[in-house]
């Protein structure tokens, strides 16, 4: 049975890349809203967006941050990371910059979205990007699509096995 996951990503830049991952059939991700639906939610304000995110994240096994060129700086991606961390939901990232968009283009690699978060204090202070995996499918002789297709299920199971509690 496919795990149910929440995809966190920058909608405007990366929706077609995310759709490729959804269409692999490995996971049951949240329904990706179209731009009209997203604009309707956005017009209702931040509280409505938070409710939409919170509802979409319910009953998921983990959160997957799909990292494009601007993902790390997106307000709602940061909210989704915080929400996942608060709910002790397993989380990891996948760089999707080398997946082709609908026009066959790739993009530049984005920053690690976990690098601005820390846990612990004093000598035990650690950045989350040193604890939470960010998988790079661009480091193989296979296409990034094939690397994700081959490894996604294992990455999810590894995250679920680690759980959502992170220690320094």
Q: pLDDT tens digits for 34-43? A: 667 777 888 8
| Model confidence, pTM | 0.91
Q: Which residues of 12-135 form beta strands (DSSP E)?
A: 28-29, 62-67, 91-95, 118-119, 126-127, 134-135
Q: How remote is the C-alpha of 34 from its chain's centroid?
A: 18
Instruction: Compute the distance between CA of residue 40 and CA of residue 123 in angstroms, rounded to an integer.
Output: 46
Residues 6+ apart with CB under 8 A from 44: none
Instruction: Compute the distance between CA of residue 153 and CA of residue 3 in angstroms, rounded to an integer.
Output: 8
Q: pLDDT tens digits for 66-119? A: 999 999 999 999 999 999 988 999 999 999 999 999 899 999 999 999 999 888
Quick one: fold of 4-162? Answer: Rossmann fold (3.40.50)
The tokens for 96 are: 């999707």
pLDDT for 94 equals 97
pLDDT for 35 equals 67
Residue with tokens 């319910």: 58
């Amino acid at each position: 049975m496919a795990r149910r996951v929440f995809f966190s990503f920058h909608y405007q830049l990366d929706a077609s890349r995310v759709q490729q991952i959804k269409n692999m059939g490995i996971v049951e991700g949240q329904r990706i809203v179209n731009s009209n639906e997203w604009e309707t939610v956005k017009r209702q304000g931040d509280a409505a967006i938070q409710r939409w995110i919170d509802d979409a994240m319910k009953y998921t096994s983990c959160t997957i941050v799909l990292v494009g060129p601007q993902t790390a700086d997106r307000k709602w991606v940061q909210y989704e990371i915080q929400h996942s961390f608060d709910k002790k939901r397993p989380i990891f990232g996948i760089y999707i910059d080398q997946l082709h968009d609908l026009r066959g283009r790739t993009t530049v690699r984005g920053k690690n979205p976990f690098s601005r978060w820390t846990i612990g204090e004093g000598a035990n202070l650690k950045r989350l990007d040193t604890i939470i995996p960010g998988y790079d499918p661009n480091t193989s002789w296979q296409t990034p699509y094939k690397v994700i297709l081959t490894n996604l299920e294992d990455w999810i199971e590894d995250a679920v096995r680690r759980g959502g509690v992170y220690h320094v």
